[in-house]
Structure 1
Amino acid sequence: MAKMTGGQAIVDSLIANGVTQVFGVPGAQLDYSFSAMYDRSDEISIIHTRHEQGAAYMAYGFAQSTGRVGAFFVVPGPGLLNATAAISTGYACNTPMMCISGQIPSDKINMGTGQLHEIRDQIEIAEKITKFARRIDSPEETPSIMARAFNELSSGRIRPVEIEMAMDIMPMQAEVTEAITIKKRAPRAPKDKTIKKAAEMLRNAKRPVLFIGGGTLDASEEVRELAKVLKAPVVPSVNALGVVDARDEYAYAPVAGHYFWKEADVVVGIGTRMTPQLDGWGVDENMKVIRLDIDAIEMQIFGIPDVGIECDAGKGAKALADALGDCDAKWPAETLKQIKDDVEKEINIMAPQVEYLNVIRDELPEDGHFVTDLTQMGYASRDAFPVYNPRTYLYPSYQGTLGHSYATGLGVQVAHPDKKVVTVAGDGGFLFNVQELATAVQFNIPMVCIVFNDNAYGNVQRIQQTSHEGRVIASDLVNPDFVKLGESFGVKSCRTDTSEGLRAALKEAFDHDGPNLIEVQMKLEDIPAPWHLYFRPRVRG
């Protein structure tokens, strides 16, 4: 037992559970937590940002690129609401984020008295976009509630959590028990019976395919071994890029899945929602579905699989590989080559994007990180950018949070100070979090941001031109001079309009000890739309 404030108790639990870096924006409702971090600054540090959304995205980037907890502090009401886009991104990507929010005075919560930053039912709002949300009503409760939050971030299906404490509880002193250090639970192993059934089904398969999702980010070795044993193609979701090295003989781009789906007789989904496969491409009586997932409910959203195995992805993939032993190759070599050739042709329709992406891939080290926004270059990268290691490609999954990438990339760079990080944004999305240029300079975060500028919400405008008979509305943009803008913050900035110009700029940026901004000027009409890769017709059922 030790006498401490509520704010000190929160910080004590963070430190006890290995959190040494947090992000946030200070405010009156958080003062006692920030004061506690000041007193323990040799154990925990904070990067304060220029907007709550920036802080939350940095925590997301930190967590998604490491698998460790990304913690951040926000004031209640508008502070928490500003962070919800990033929290929902973490929810979509199964990211271990911890949001710590202040609250108005405890006796005024939900009273509608107009307190500073008051919103009704804040905890209920947080519950909708988190795995776990709780209010701490006394300092003494802090160790147990924080322990519960860390348990949720280290077991089962991992998604963000939210903890809040009222501003009159933060300074309250009490005798508080020692912070509880959570030990990560052993991964859930599959049942032998279901593994045997799945293995038998695969041994008898003629055209098996593995589909993997973000649940396999920490199961790269096991998934690669399963693919090698089964000698089957592996198709990742965007969140699973890099789980199998793109250069591996069994690795295929996401778009290749549609080709394999036409002929597959047994498909295995590991740690994936299997969207759009099951809900878009269809299933018929000639296809069997095997699913391995830590979330039993997830496996039943699109119907009951022929074999459903509730387990950790790594444990399940290893058990399945062990049960299979060595298998004969089932896909004819000429079929696999033809699919690779067909996919390459489709990708090369986007020649201008591919040219720029090839330059980035050439210059970015194999273990470097690539963070992409919702932009024409980003869309193309999902199939045209080879990824070699898990957690080195970040995309906001189905949440599609435009404007996330700059702040997310800063969080990635903070987590990996010795690695290179490249963030790609469009001119529209970049300005969503442009204020974090100041954070990059203040903390000398040496990330490289490439802004592809077509002076439009390019994707929206293209759809308006092609699908709405040229009814272009609200999609033209007037932009600042991005080079002068970056320089005004103190960011090393330059401009180019060629791929080789980008190559030279990247080389120079990687040699610079500080943040970098590269503007690439493009014309929207010169950028082929990548949508042909994603809207696939139903091919089964």
Structure 2
Amino acid sequence: MTAETTKMSGGTAIVDALIRNGVDTVFGIPGVQLDPLFDAFHHAKNRIRVVHNRHEQGAGYMALGYAQATGRVGTCVVVPGPGLLNAAAAISTGYSLNSQMLCIVGQIPSHLIGKGTGQLHELPDQLAIAEGLTKWAKRMDAPDDVPGAMAEAFRQLNTGRRRPVEVEMALDIMKAESDVSPVDPPHDYDVLQPDPDRIEEVAKLLGEAENPLIFAGGGAIDAGGPLLTLAEMLEAPVVMSRSALGAVDSRNPLALTPPHGHKLWKDADVVLGVGTRLVPMIPAWGTDNCLKQVRIDVDTEEITRSSTPDLALEADAAVSLAALCDAVPSHNRKRSDRTEEMTALKADLQAEFDKLDPQMPILRAIRDTLPEDGIFVEELTQPGYVARLAFPVYQPRTFINPGYQGTLGYACPTAMGAKIGMPDRKVLAISGDGGFMFNVQELATAAQHGIDVVLVVFNDGAYGNVKRFQQQLFDGREIAVDLQNPDFMKLADAFGVQGFRVNSPLELQRAIGEGFDTPGPTLIEYPLGEVPDPWHLIFQGRVRG
């Protein structure tokens, strides 16, 4: 709905559109090409919070954490050129996670765009770069372009496959004033509905299956209710990728992770993939003519990217699953209760997981201290790899990971964004010493804004996983993997944050408790030596076909 026309600057129009679309927080760093926009933020400071930080990459990750924890749009604001490029790692991580990230970027003076005159922060074609990183990108060339462009940006963020979008505006347009007709968002965005006839076909195939198996990916994270109902109806285990953990409570006998799924793959006759690429399952675990595949995905291209399914629903996951719950009973065969079988499978795999010591005791210490609704942010570090397989997750959006980008350095600022988005939750992030130093400067941001996060750094003095692979693959030869780190306790003190050095899971548990009980950020260092290799449980081979 269009509101009454009023005179606004470009910057004011952007802020007005953000507020109308429910944005309450933005993360970013001011700069000359953003000055009019930040002045507009100042005038709206009672309605929208600006969290300024120390690097554009950190701002992007904070927006990512906000979006992943809340399921709402996370917004970052960066200068053009190097600002956008610095934020690109976070944007690409958001792209891999189907994250609702909005990146607002400045631009050089509008009459010089594309001229190559060497303006401050000029890129040859910034919009093209943004288009390559995002679902949708748009430059706003006049203040009255803002309502329509921002309405489309939020439509893109709230429909179809939800991925980052970018909007940009030149400095002079941010200053300029003209008549603007603001646009209020719709009450609800369109949801892609499944074809009723195809629902019946899928329901019949699932209902008649002897041994159905469900795989849930990030596209199912907000569809846990109907997902579990269908699973229980079919007696079908639900194998959750790291991006789906928490869609079904880990304590449910049917809730599994990929190592469990690998054990069941060879005997399944119908596999239902919900919001997942089914990778590595299809290419690595194998298929044959006895295995029927069904896919539910809002992204038409994704459905056939790794294989061609027997049946597919090109629709929203939650809506499709709810429709299947209504349709399956008329086709459903009687199956035995699988509680005992799945409990035994979990126990067998837990025995394998428990061989990964100290990773498993460390993860138990974290889980025992983190409340059920607490948010856990994992990074590419040895306990993090194991967490994807064996960390119990009880609620959706409480296990945040870097997706297939595997971006080092993302955990600290991502956890900060998650905490700001969910201020009543406890938030804990883990990093290795190598990754943590990528964005160590954001400790200053956490201290300045009083962001209550607990950051655990596992310090092995190396890019530990790279070191392991070099040793294994190149006859023990190593290069460029050992690190000289600061004294992390002195570093914590220098930033004005609480710090602990611990040497056991019990000490870790106590330090986490202290961190949760103390206002402000807490940094915990855990020196870590060589640990068991988890990769045999992550990369698993062909079992059929």
State the TM-score, normalizing by the size of structure 1.
Answer: 0.98
Equivalent residue pairs, number: 539
Q: Do the aligned residues in 2 keep the contact of 1:206 with 1:330 (CA within 8 Å)?
A: no
The answer to whether residue 150 in structure 2 is matched with residue 115 in structure 1 is no
Counting only pairs closer than 5 Å after superposition, residues 346-365 of structure 1 correspond to structure 2 as 346-365=352-371
AA of the residue aligned to 2:450: N
* Number of the residue aligned with 2:491: 485
Preserved contact between residue 210 and residue 335 of structure 2 (Cα < 8 Å): no
Alignment of 1:252-291 (within 5 A): 252-291=256-295
- Where does residue 174 of structure 1 map in the other structure? 178
Q: What is the deviation of 1:343?
A: 1.7
Of residues 15, 23, 29, the one that matches 1:25 is 29
Taking structure 1 as reference, are residues 501 and 332 closer, same or farther at Cα in structure 2, changes over 3 Å only? Answer: closer
User: What is the aligned partner in structure 1 of residue 236 from structure 2?
Assistant: 232
2: CA distance, partners of 1:99 / 1:132: 11
Q: Secondary structure at the match of 2:499?
A: strand
How far the C-alpha of 1:332 sits from its partner, in A, is 6.0
Counterpart of 1:505 (choices 511, 517, 533) is 511
- How far is 1:223 from its partner? 0.8
For the residues of structure 1 that align with 2:499 and 2:72, how far apart are their CA atoms? 32
Of 445, 448, 458, which residue of structure 1 is paired with 2:464?
458
- After TM superposition, the structure 1 = structure 2 runs for residues 308-319 of structure 1, keeping only pairs within 5 Å, are 308-319=312-323
Q: Could you say which residue in structure 1 is the equivalent of 2:299?
A: 295
CA distance in 2, matches of 1:57, 1:88: 10
- Tell me if 1:103 matches 2:93: no
Preserved contact between residue 151 and residue 184 of structure 1 (Cα < 8 Å): no
1:68-99 per-position Cα deviation (integer Å, ceiling 9, x unaligned) = 00011000000000000000010000000000
CA-to-partner distance for each residue in 1:287-306, whole Å, 9 max, x for gaps? 00011111111101123210
Q: Counterparts in 2 of 1:406-485, with a 5 A limit?
A: 406-485=412-491
Q: Quick check: 2:240–2:257 contact (8 Å CA) kept in 1?
A: yes
Code of the residue aligned with 2:420 in structure 1: it is V
> Contact 2:371 / 2:426 at 8 angstroms: preserved in 1?
yes
Structure 1: unaligned runs, 5 residues or longer: none
Shift of 1:184: 3.0
* One-letter code aligned to 2:260: A
Contact 2:23 2:73 in 1 (8 A): yes
Match of 2:162 in 1: 158
C-alpha distance in structure 2 between counterparts of 1:145 and 1:66, whole Å: 24
SS in 2 for 1:449: strand
Distance 1:235 1:182 in 2: 35
**Structure 1 residues 88-111: Cα deviation after superposition (integer angstroms, max 9, x where no partner):** 010000000000000011111121
> Equivalent of 1:385, from 371, 383, 391?
391
Query: What one-letter code is carried by the residue in structure 2 that aligns with 1:418?
Result: D
Greater mean deviation of Cα atoms: 90-99 or 271-280? 271-280
Q: 1:454-507: per-residue Cα shift (whole Å, max 9, x none)?
A: 111010011111222111111101100001101110000010111111011111
- Post-superposition Cα deviations, 1:300-340, rounded to whole Å, max 9, x if no partner, equal 11232101101111111111121112653357666534432
Which residue pairs with 2:90 in the alignment? 86
| Distance in 2, Cα, partners of 1:470 & 1:375 | 21
For residues 123 and 233 of structure 1, the distance between their equivalents in structure 2, rounded to whole angstroms, comes to 45
User: Does the CA contact (< 8 Å) of 1:151 and 1:182 recur in 2?
Assistant: no
Give the secondary-structure state (helix, strand or coil) at the position aligned to 1:274: coil
**2 CA distance for matches of 1:81 and 1:333?**
50
In 2: Cα distance, 1:337 partner to 1:448 partner: 33
What is the distance in 2 between the residues matched to 1:124 and 1:408?
26
- Aligned residue among 187, 194, 208 for 2:191: 187
Q: Give the one of 389, 401, 407 matched to 1:395.
A: 401
Structure 2, unaligned runs of 5 or more: none
Shift of 1:258: 1.0
Identity rate, percent: 51
Cα deviation, residue 185, structure 1: 1.7
In structure 1, distance between residues paired with 2:51 and 2:171: 22
Answer whether contact 1:212 1:271 (CA < 8 A) is retained.
Answer: yes
Structure 1 residue aligned with 2:227: 223
Q: CA deviation at 1:207?
A: 1.2
CA distance in 1, matches of 2:309, 2:294: 6
Match for residue 250 of structure 1 among 254, 258, 264: 254
SS at match of 1:55: helix
* Offset of residue 349 of structure 1: 2.2
Of 422-431 and 217-226, the range deviating more from structure 2: 217-226
**Pairwise CA RMSD of aligned residues?**
1.2
Residue equivalent to 1:212 = 216
User: Partners in 1 of 2:501 and 2:207 — Cα distance?
Assistant: 55
**In 2, are the aligned partners of 1:9 and 1:179 still within 8 Å (CA)?**
no
Q: In structure 1, how many angstroms separate the alpha carbons of the residues matched to 2:338 and 2:376?
A: 34
Q: Which amino acid aligns with 1:409?
A: A
What is the CA–CA distance in structure 1 between the aligned matches of 2:418 and 2:468, rounded to whole Å? 31
Give the match for residue 536 of structure 1.
540
Contact 1:135 1:163 (8 Å CA) reproduced: yes
8 Å CA contact retained: 1:291, 1:309: yes
Give the secondary structure class of the aligned counterpart of 1:502: helix
1:201 to partner: Cα distance: 1.0
Alignment pair present for 1:8 and 2:15: no
Q: Secondary structure at the match of 2:256?
A: coil
Equivalent position amino acid for 2:42 in 1 = Y
Is the alpha carbon distance of 1:280 and 1:331 closer, same or farther for their aligned partners in structure 2, counting shifts above 3 Å? Answer: farther
Distance 2:452 2:526 in 1: 19
Q: Secondary structure at the match of 1:120?
A: coil
